[in-house]
Amino acid sequence: MGADTEADTEADGGEPTRIEESADWPETARYLTLVEIEGEAALLLGGDDGLGTFGNANKVMALRGDGEMLWVAMTGNFEVDAIHKLTSIERLDSGNVWLSGWAYDEGIVEDDPGWGWYAELDMQGEWVWFEEVGPGASPQISAPRADGSVVVLSQSWGADQLLGLSSTAMELWSVSGWGDDDDEVREWTRALAVTDTGVMVGGGHELVGQASSSSWFARFSEQGEFLEEFVHAPVAGKSNSGIHELEFDPESETLAALCYDYEPGSDGLTQELLLRRFDASGATLLSTRSIGDGLPLGLKIDGASGAWILWDFEGSGMLGYYPADPEAPPEWEVLLEGLAAYDFAVDVDGKRAYVLTDTSIEIVEF
């Protein structure tokens, strides 16, 4: 089954070609995941239709690499007059994908905190199972593990919560209220990674009333036991730092952290985007690479200590590949001028990167 999308398939010297947005796409497409369908690389495009209106829908669409539509799946029980939000799509070792999201109805204005949901989708567009959880649950980031379980960073009644779930979303363990319990310290969590020995979360750490903050890690056992935390100061010349995304590299047994260090200024926030490497515990900073001024959007590692990074540069998406040596220049960078970027996927075998923007999927060959 085809869709009314068009895509050039030959890039000229690394210049992006594109898959144009079609009327079948989610109204607010925000997630792009590389999968395999019928033995070929394909894309899952996820987002929401009618977000902000009661009775809206979440939509997942499968596309071939040239933009041809394969199938569309709608998530959840939409007999309920509620607002539904998709928050993650993660590929499982089985080839299927794990999805998470949250929903709420008009009662949230009074005393209903809403609820979360998890689901598994196969590569024919069929739901394997769907599970609602709550009340008060709002899953944000999911990280599948090799044993089939999934670790989820969620919010429960507004507080950060870390969950260990079975392959069908049965709760195995949960922990909340980790880190420093000093009332003068505020910590926030933005990133999640599973390692060979446990779980890492990352974000920021600040003293209440101080105009400064630091990057922050918390380390947990495989069963969710809080073990320790580490704080890392901003680079010279910046007074604030935070972690946007984490990836564990099993080849080098290191953590890759996409960070943003910034100094409040009269013209707003000037953010320096950084790729930092830490040991697997998060205790020791191994290297720092400056990417440039901008806003972090996404990080993917290549298994050889290199990384692809998507970021926002003055309102336009920028994608680059950065080798292991932090002093070496980027192998390439592509500016998607005038296009707001949201997510990206990398087909290593096909030597292509796909960037989801506000009007298209840009294809970058490398």
332-361 pLDDT per residue, tens: 999 999 999 999 999 999 999 999 999 999
Domain assignment present for residue 284? The answer is yes
Structural domain total, the chain: 2
CA 92 – CA 48 distance, rounded (Å) = 22
Domain assignment present for residue 254? The answer is yes
CB-based contact 8:16 (threshold 8 Å) = no
Domain assignment present for residue 272? The answer is yes
What residues have CB less than 8 Å from 139, skipping those under 6 apart? Answer: 87, 88, 100, 101, 102, 116, 117, 118, 152, 153, 154, 163
Question: Between residues 225 and 14, which one has the greater pLDDT?
Answer: 225
Residue 210 and residue 325 share a domain:
yes
What's the rounded mean pLDDT across residues 262-291? Answer: 87
Residue 129 and residue 188 share a domain:
no
Domain assignment present for residue 259? The answer is yes
* pLDDT value, residue 7: 40
pLDDT for residue 286 is more than 90 = yes
Which two three-digit tokens encode residue 254? 């290191």
pLDDT digits (tens, 9 = 90+) for 78-108: 556 777 889 999 999 999 999 999 887 766 5
pLDDT digits (tens, 9 = 90+) for 133-160: 877 788 999 999 999 999 999 987 667 8
CA 264 – CA 266 distance, rounded (Å) = 7
Among 196-200, 243-247, 269-273, where is mean pLDDT lowest?
269-273
Residue 354 and residue 212 share a domain:
yes
pLDDT for residue 10 is more than 50 = no
Helix ranges (H only) for 43-142 are: none
Residue 200 and residue 122 share a domain:
no
Which two three-digit tokens encode residue 187? 């910590």
Domain assignment present for residue 171? The answer is no
Of 72, 107, 134, which residue sits at a domain end? 134
Domain assignment present for residue 44? The answer is yes
* pLDDT value, residue 256: 97
Residue 183 and residue 105 share a domain:
no
Q: What percent of the chain has pLDDT over 70?
A: 86
Residue 201 and residue 57 share a domain:
no
Domain assignment present for residue 170? The answer is no
Residue 333 and residue 248 share a domain:
yes
Q: What is the CATH number of the domain that holds 211?
A: 2.130.10.10
* pLDDT value, residue 160: 86
Residue 331 and residue 272 share a domain:
yes
CA 141 – CA 77 distance, rounded (Å) = 21
CB-based contact 363:11 (threshold 8 Å) = yes
Domain assignment present for residue 149? The answer is no
CB-based contact 101:114 (threshold 8 Å) = no
Residue 221 and residue 127 share a domain:
no
Residue 325 and residue 262 share a domain:
yes
- Give the mean pLDDT of the chain: 87
pLDDT for residue 199 is more than 80 = yes
Q: CA angle, 339 as apex, 361 and 69 as ends, to 5°? A: 15
Closest by Cα among 121, 38, 116, 115 to 74 = 121
CA 29 – CA 57 distance, rounded (Å) = 12
What's the rounded mean pLDDT across residues 259-276? Answer: 81
pLDDT digits (tens, 9 = 90+) for 25-68: 999 999 999 999 999 999 999 998 876 677 678 899 999 999 99
Q: What is the CATH number of the domain that holds 49?
A: 2.40.128
Going by pLDDT thresholds of 50, 70 and 90, the confidence category of residue 168 is very high
Give me the torsion for CA of 7, 69, 357, 117, rounded to 10°.
Answer: -170
- Domain hosting 44: range is 1-134
